[in-house]
Amino acid sequence: MADVDNRNRNRRSNRAGQPNPKREARAKAAERHVATVSEACAKDIERSLAGVREFDGMPVGFVAAMKVKAQKAAAAEEHAAEDVEAAEVETAEVASVETEAVAEPAPAEEAAEIEPTPAAEEPAPVLPEVTVLDASTTQAILDNGRGYAQFCDMAVLAFASFTNPGGGYIQGYLGQEATLCADSYLYNVLDKQRKWYGENRRRNINCELYRNRALVVPAVRFDRNHVHAYADVIVAAAPNVRRARQEYRVSDDVLLDALRDRIRFVLAICDELGREKLVLGAWGCDNNGFDAEAVAELFRKELASGDFKVKQVFFAVPSTRWDEDFAKFEHVLANFPERNEESYAQVAARAAAARAAEQIQAATEDDEDEDDWRKYL
C-alpha cells in the first residue's frame, strides 16, 4: 500500500511541487494498460516470467571465449618470435658457409631449398550488418522481428533504470524503457522483480556507474496498430554521467571505460541468448549525459572487434528537434567497420558554411533580378 501511496504522490506533483496534468494522464493510461495486458496476454506473461534470467557479471561463455582468444594470440606471438629467431640463426649459418671455399658444388638435391609450410591462417571474423534507423525501438522490433514467440530471433536493449521497474512508466514518466512498457507487457514482468531492484539499490550503485547486472525477459510481445513481433528484452542500465560527475567527481575517462565495459556486457548477453538480431540505440545519451558521438564510436569499436556473433544490428535513434543523436550515429557508423576520420562537428560546420553560402548567393540573385522602378519615371 505504501508503494501505491508513493506513486500517487509522484503523480500529483512535479519537482517544483506543482501538479503535472500530462504526467498524471500518462500514469492513468499506464495503469489501464497494465491491467488490460495482464488479462489479454496472461499466457505470454506467465511464459516470460518463468523464463526471466539474471546476469551478474560477464556471461561465463563469453569469458571462456575471450580466454581462448587470448591464448591463441599468445601462441601466435610465441610462434612468430620463434620464426624470427630461426631466421636469424639460418642467416648466421649461411654467412659462415659463404666465407669457406667449397671445391665441389653441392648436389642438386642438397642445394634445393625446402620451403617451410605456411601456417594456417585464422578465418577472418564475421562482422554484423549495421543499420541506423530513424525510428523508435518498438518500430524497429515490429519491422524486423518475428510474429511467433517460438521463432524469436531478436534481442532488444531497454535503456533501463537501475533501481525503478520500467523507468517510472507507472508514474507517468517518459523514456525509451517506458515506451517499451507502453507497447508490451514488459512492466507486468519487471514489477515482479522487486528483489533484484532492491539488491541494486543496496549494494550496486557504485558511484552512479552501477555494475554489470541485467535481467533478460524472453520473447516479449510488442504490439502497435494491430502489428506484433517478439523480442528478448535485455534490461540493463548505462552509467549515470550527470550524477557520477556531480556527486562523486568521476572523471570522463572512467565514465567512458565503464560504458565500454557495459556495452561489451550487453553484446555478450546477446551471444549467450543466441539471437542473430539486436536492436540498440543512443544508450546513455541525453538525460544520462553521454555524448551521442562518443557512444556511437564505442559501439562501433566493439562491433568491429569480431568478438561477438550477432549478425544484424539495428540502431533505433529517432531524430528530434531537441538533439542531434540520429545525425551523430549515422555519421559515426557510415563507414562501418572503418572509423570515420572526420568528427561530426567538422562535418556539421562545413554543411552550415555551405548553407550560408547558398543563402548569400540566393539573396544576391534576388537583388540582381529586382526591377528598379525609378527607370520608368
Domain boundary assignment for the chain = 2-60+125-351
Nearest to 156, CA basis, from 224, 217, 227: 217
- Which one is predicted more confidently, 78 or 366? 78
For residue 4, is pLDDT > 50? Answer: no
* CA 304 – CA 310 distance, rounded (Å): 11
Mean pLDDT of the chain: 87
pTM summary value: 0.82
- Which one is predicted more confidently, 274 or 66? 274
Q: Tell me, what's the pLDDT at 3?
A: 44
Q: Tell me, what's the pLDDT at 376?
A: 56
Domain 2-60+125-351 has CATH 3.50.50.60: no
* CA 3 – CA 261 distance, rounded (Å): 34
Q: Tell me, what's the pLDDT at 8?
A: 44
- Which one is predicted more confidently, 351 or 222? 222
- As a whole number, mean pLDDT of residues 224-228 equals 95
Q: Tell me, what's the pLDDT at 122?
A: 61
Contacts (Cβ under 8 Å, ≥6 apart) of 21:
none
Q: Tell me, what's the pLDDT at 372?
A: 60
Please give the distance of CA 2 from its chain centroid, rounded to a whole number.
36
Q: Tell me, what's the pLDDT at 368?
A: 61
Q: Tell me, what's the pLDDT at 66?
A: 87
Instruction: Find cell 551471444 and name the residue.
Output: 271
- Which one is predicted more confidently, 374 or 23? 23
